Amino acid sequence: MMLSVVVPCYNEEGNVALFYKEAMEAFKRSNMSFEFVFVNDGSTDSTLSVLKKLCSGPVPMKIVNFSRNFGKEAAMMAGLEASKGDYVVVIDADLQQKPELVLDMLGTLEGDESVDCVAAFQESRGESKPLAFFKKSFYKLINKMSDTQFFQGASDFRCMRRRMVDAVIGMKEYHRFSKGLFSWVGFNTVYMPYTAAPRAAGDSKWSFRKLFRYAVDGIESFSTAPLRLPLYLGVLFLALSVILFVILIFAAKEFIDIAVMFFVGGTVLFCMGIMGEYLAKAYVQGKGRPVYIVKEIIDNEK
Ligand code: UDP
Ligand code: MG
């Protein structure tokens, strides 16, 4: 049995060597053979040269080097596609997710043939109240709107059997929302609580703006309910306009029409905006562009 360790890296020069060392120590303790698949997602620092040096180590290692930054979703996809192991773990380079936890994941998979995936989730995070509230609301909303179920706090940090990995990489959609894809493919997932450590070096790439955009993308990728909003609003306004018409016949208030105009105009624009979001996604998917472009693959076994 072999384990593939998939690590997306974007400007992680201060972390990759530390990660490599810690991961080596952890995985040596298991009796499984393993390979590293590092994806360099268009880093602008010295991540690539540090990775190249690590290639001379004793363990099979691949570097998938992107032509530019394509985002973590694309990096994960490339890593999964390049992996060969019977088990594949996706783990961050910044040591927030401790490599030794992978041993627990493997233990669960090896101990129970019916389990296909062990996914780590964070029970509590040291986040600000507004951010925690935003995340909670997101999970509530998306679980209401989508047939796919999302597990609150689940991260991309997970160890999967080959059959599940193959299912995930078989999904060729351009707008990848992994939390949804992992859930959509089905299989039996066990959730394991963990506490994320602070970043070993560097900064997180997430801002609130990016997170909000990511949440909207997630909903758009896994629910078409927003597209039905114009229909509901249309019915509502038709009913309202009948009532308004009756009222105005008896008490012709001069300015009410302006308020009504703004209200209706705003709603129409909002609904058009929603359709625009889906249209944009269909447009990009229609062009059939690849999710990522590889500049080179460095493989210390070849
Ligand atoms: N990452 C990536 N491409 C990106 C952004 C992030 O490959 O465009 C990698 C990053 O190097 C790290 C992982 O994804 O290994 C998680 O990123 P980060 O630590 O910024 O996210 P957080 O832990 O704050 O959720
Ligand atoms: Mg991190």
Q: Which of 121-135, 151-165, 239-253 has the lowest mean pLDDT?
A: 239-253
Choose one of 47, 205, 291, 294 to mutate for the ligand 1 pocket test, by most ligand atoms within 8 angstroms of C-beta: 205
Provide the mean pLDDT of the chain: 90
Residue 145 to residue 292: CA distance in whole angstroms: 29
255 — pLDDT class (breaks 50, 70, 90): low
72 — pLDDT class (breaks 50, 70, 90): very high
Would you state the pLDDT for residue 225? 85
Query: How do beta strands 61-66 and 33-40 pair?
Result: parallel
Which atom of ligand 1 approaches the CA of 8 most closely? Answer: 7
253 — pLDDT class (breaks 50, 70, 90): low
Q: State pTM to two decimals.
A: 0.85
Which residues have a Cβ under 8 Å from the Cβ of 215 and sit 6 or more positions away?
A: 134, 138, 142
Residue 158 to residue 193: CA distance in whole angstroms: 11
Q: Ligand 2 mean position to 204 CA, how many Å?
A: 5
Q: Ligand 1 mean position to 216 CA, how many Å?
A: 19
Segment of 62-76, 122-136, 146-160 carrying the highest mean pLDDT? 62-76
Would you state the pLDDT for residue 6? 98
CA distances from 203 to 13, 14, 41, 198, 200 (A): 11, 10, 15, 10, 9
| Predicted confidence (pLDDT) per residue in 169-209, tens digit | 999 999 999 889 999 999 999 999 998 888 888 888 888 88
| Predicted confidence (pLDDT) per residue in 76-112, tens digit | 999 999 999 999 999 999 999 999 999 999 999 999 9
In 3D space, the residue among 68, 63, 14, 69 whose CA is nearest the CA of residue 39 turns out to be 63
Above 70 in pLDDT, residue 144?
A: yes
Which atom of ligand 1 approaches the CA of 94 most closely? Answer: 15
Instruction: Map out the domains of the chain as residue ranges.
Output: 2-213+291-299, 225-287
b/e 120-133 (16+ beta carbons within 10 angstroms → b): bebeeeeeeeeeee
Q: Ligand 1 mean position to 155 CA, how many Å?
A: 12
* CATH code for the part of the protein at 2-213+291-299: 3.90.550.10
CA end-to-end span of the chain: 21
Choose one of 94, 179, 291 to mutate for the ligand 1 pocket test, by most ligand atoms within 8 angstroms of C-beta: 94
Residue 296 to residue 290: CA distance in whole angstroms: 16
Residue 186: CB atoms within 10 A of its CB come to 11
Residues with CB under 6 A from ligand 1: 8-10, 12, 41, 69, 71-72, 75, 92-94, 96, 204-206
Q: Would you mind telling me the total number of residues written for the chain in this entry?
A: 302
254 — pLDDT class (breaks 50, 70, 90): low
